Structure 1
């Protein structure tokens, strides 16, 4: 990969600002796992300062370390299923056709941003891979000279801007799934289905506003003319040829190359889904995290056609789940220290924080403070689900105390939780692997999006929050 030299043309406008931001963020931001370890350290020190004994702190750390085991697997499966679906032959053909639509470099960048945000409403893992492959397909066009860095940043916008307002939102999925909620949190909030969170008209309005803002910024910040750096100029290999599985070599492999079992599994899944929709409320069905993952996993199997091709895709997807697998236990440990390591007077840090947020009062001030706090914490805990388990006990208790609508509180968290992704490169990793780029190539453009998104998000949670009424939790 080549680097930009002193004689390279100077970029202008928002594109120039984006590259200036990239130089600073790449220099000072460590690996996301370091943030998680630092988070544990900070929480432990805070517990000691609160009067907790060393034994209480280490017991909470060790006993809580595996509290999110089931949810960790579920979040890893979100990434895996998204990757498997996005790399299937039918989706690959769709991507090739979509890549021919844009007619100008700026339009190509904004087009990728729009599709990335749209797909992320269904599955953020699918969005990362789908949009990354779309960016590569556009970059392969010989009739259109597009900046590859801006295309890559646009491909990240689904996760960086609106993913948590969609159906794979970790917090919304958790709150809708009683079995995934820690008992202490379930006692505070009860179950909140999608009808009280992502499918409220206020949340959908917020979603549309942010998508429009994202697309406009992507369009205006795309480098033009001599400032464009193409994938070829950056020595990026854009060959996306999918290797066909090796021919069957022994009789025992014939089922691996047969479409019979995928069709059967797909039919079973479809039958289960129809049965669920006929016997349960629609929102409770679509809110089920396990059901959601079942459908996407079997869809990937069917779209790949044969078990052999499906398994090859799964093998390529597994490395993208590594960060989730090693970081979520640290988030669980943090949550346990916050909620279980009692200090002076038997009061935990979580209870102190709940009192602090309750004292802020209800209305717009509560919404804005919660949003800002979520953004700050997100820099250290770059995980929607893991961070929700850290925040939720005291945030939702405070929301109940000040009579803030609980479903909207989840959405305040969701829209604010996405913002740190525009700065912290943790969830860029699967996309960077697809693109063949480094974080510094994208962060300048995504940091620019953060600068515009932050005040807009605060305004939206304040104004739209005024339209809600408090509904007591049903436990």
Structure 2
């Protein structure tokens, strides 16, 4: 794909910043709620103020979830900065001497990481893409850096079928909000189902090949990034209580205890519950322990935290905006209206398909798998039970739709953009092409199984 193509020019010229997109989506959601939702009898003329109240209420409702999301991103970043992962990245960059090779390898590894943890995949992919660019700059190689950046972001189209998938993990809990309607659905029925395992396999095989093809056809240019200067090492004098901060024994013992407690959960979980204990808090707990253990001291761990925390700035400042959008969609009934509209035209065959499309649409306004499940879950599961569709399949259809339009919604690209120094309009032309590939894979799997 050439830089002067009309497609690239159109996308790059039309896209504002992610924060501006969030504000515009807020205004659009409020307008749609005014136009299509029922007005309360006592607020016929003051409905615009009521919608603003919905927005303000929702603005603060996801603080706990925001903290969980920020932690999973920060701790995933911290893990990617450990010597073990850093060595792995540096070794992999040696094979990235062309755009096609780099795009293939970055996308392949990023997708694999996405099945482990979405925060890890996002940051690992970003750091990998940045390292590839720095290595190319040092060696005088020409690359299509935006395409490599898109390859580092592609894991966000695959993550919801992995171990950090919000909707599958939510319904696997024994106290989720729909437990009385659908019971507990173990991840062996969702994440480890034949459909999802096949879907994941196709993503790993096909998407990197598409990136390779795009790399072959795209124009490359010289990389011009500000390289980080290495600071001179000096012997730091460690006194008194500071010895604890630098102690390998204490840090590794602390990390081992946390990892032990996390692994122990596997053995103390009742038989038949499967891996239902794997939730956002569990993953954060495990990542915390691994981070301390692999960094080898509290001092190094905290330095990594300081380096990683900036990547969560976009989440912390923009997530309340999207929570406000969710408040409007939830309290006004707009989100339910979207889901119900798709459900009304569905049958047993088409419900998973329309669930995917509705989830993809809602994800543009509410880019949160967990938040989206809260809005759409009750309607989707009720329709599935009414039409005789497998509820686990409906959960995965929503998961696929949620992750699909991440390639169109730049919210989760914020950490990657900060690390790579690219702009959203640089990577989105390529990520939208990949979105069409993902759509084909997801639709095929939902029809076959």
- Whether the TM-score (by the shorter chain) exceeds 0.5 is yes
Q: State the alpha-carbon separation in 1 of the partners of residues 412 and 368 from structure 2.
A: 8
Q: 1:172 aligns with which of 168, 171, 185?
A: 168
Is it true that 1:283 corresponds to 2:274 in the alignment?
A: yes
Residues 224, 366 of structure 1: alpha-carbon distance in 2 compared, 3 angstrom cutoff? closer
Q: State the alpha-carbon separation in 2 of the partners of residues 119 and 255 from structure 1.
A: 33
Residues 152, 356 of structure 1: alpha-carbon distance in 2 compared, 3 angstrom cutoff? closer
| Residue number in structure 2 paired with 1:259 | 248
**Conserved? CA contact 1:358–1:399, under 8 Å:** no
Q: 1:230 aligns with which of 200, 219, 222?
A: 222
- SS state at 1:313 partner: helix
Larger displacement relative to structure 2 (248-257 or 201-210): 248-257
Residues 59, 403 of structure 1: alpha-carbon distance in 2 compared, 3 angstrom cutoff? farther
Report the CA distance between 1:222 and its aligned residue: 0.6
Is it true that 1:382 corresponds to 2:367 in the alignment?
A: yes
Give CA-to-partner distance per residue, 1:349-398, whole Å, 9 cap, x none: 55555543442233332122221222222223333333332322322332
Q: 2:80 aligns with which of 83, 86, 90?
A: 86
| Residue number in structure 2 paired with 1:450 | 435
Task: List runs of 5+ in structure 1 lacking aligned partners.
Answer: 1-14, 342-347, 465-475
| Residue number in structure 2 paired with 1:100 | 94
| Residue number in structure 1 paired with 2:155 | 158
Give CA-to-partner distance per residue, 1:213-253, whole Å, 9 cap, x none: 2111100001569x31132xxx1134485887982454232
Is it true that 1:112 corresponds to 2:97 in the alignment?
A: no
Larger displacement relative to structure 2 (16-25 or 249-258): 16-25
Q: State the alpha-carbon separation in 1 of the partners of residues 75 and 89 from structure 2.
A: 17
TM-score of the pair, normalised by structure 1? 0.82
Q: How many residues align?
A: 436
**Conserved? CA contact 1:428–1:439, under 8 Å:** yes
| Residue number in structure 2 paired with 1:149 | 146
Q: Give runs of aligned pairs for residues 294-333 of structure 1, distance below 5 A.
A: 294-333=285-324
Q: 1:270 aligns with which of 251, 259, 284?
A: 259
**Conserved? CA contact 1:277–1:285, under 8 Å:** no
Report the CA distance between 1:113 and its aligned residue: 0.9
Is it true that 1:209 corresponds to 2:198 in the alignment?
A: no
Task: List runs of 5+ in structure 2 lacking aligned partners.
Answer: none
Report the CA distance between 1:409 and its aligned residue: 1.2
Q: State the alpha-carbon separation in 2 of the partners of residues 62 and 289 from structure 1.
A: 26
Report the CA distance between 1:120 and its aligned residue: 0.9
TM-score of the pair, normalised by structure 2? 0.86
- SS state at 1:413 partner: helix
Q: State the alpha-carbon separation in 2 of the partners of residues 39 and 247 from structure 1.
A: 50
Q: State the alpha-carbon separation in 2 of the partners of residues 19 and 197 from structure 1.
A: 41
**Conserved? CA contact 1:399–1:406, under 8 Å:** yes
| Residue number in structure 1 paired with 2:189 | 196
Is it true that 1:32 corresponds to 2:18 in the alignment?
A: yes
Q: State the alpha-carbon separation in 1 of the partners of residues 98 and 58 from structure 2.
A: 52
| Residue number in structure 1 paired with 2:38 | 50
Q: State the alpha-carbon separation in 1 of the partners of residues 211 and 4 from structure 2.
A: 11
**Conserved? CA contact 2:141–2:222, under 8 Å:** no
Report the CA distance between 1:61 and its aligned residue: 4.0
Larger displacement relative to structure 2 (361-370 or 299-308): 361-370
Residues 191, 252 of structure 1: alpha-carbon distance in 2 compared, 3 angstrom cutoff? same
Q: State the alpha-carbon separation in 1 of the partners of residues 215 and 183 from structure 2.
A: 45
**Conserved? CA contact 1:40–1:330, under 8 Å:** yes
Larger displacement relative to structure 2 (324-333 or 404-413): 324-333
| Residue number in structure 1 paired with 2:391 | 406
Q: State the alpha-carbon separation in 2 of the partners of residues 177 and 32 from structure 1.
A: 33
Q: State the alpha-carbon separation in 2 of the partners of residues 403 and 246 from structure 1.
A: 68
Give CA-to-partner distance per residue, 1:5-32, whole Å, 9 cap, x none: xxxxxxxxxx238964333223223333
Give CA-to-partner distance per residue, 1:139-168, whole Å, 9 cap, x none: 315286443232222111112x21111111
Report the CA distance between 1:423 and its aligned residue: 2.1
- SS state at 1:251 partner: coil
Q: State the alpha-carbon separation in 1 of the partners of residues 10 and 214 from structure 2.
A: 18
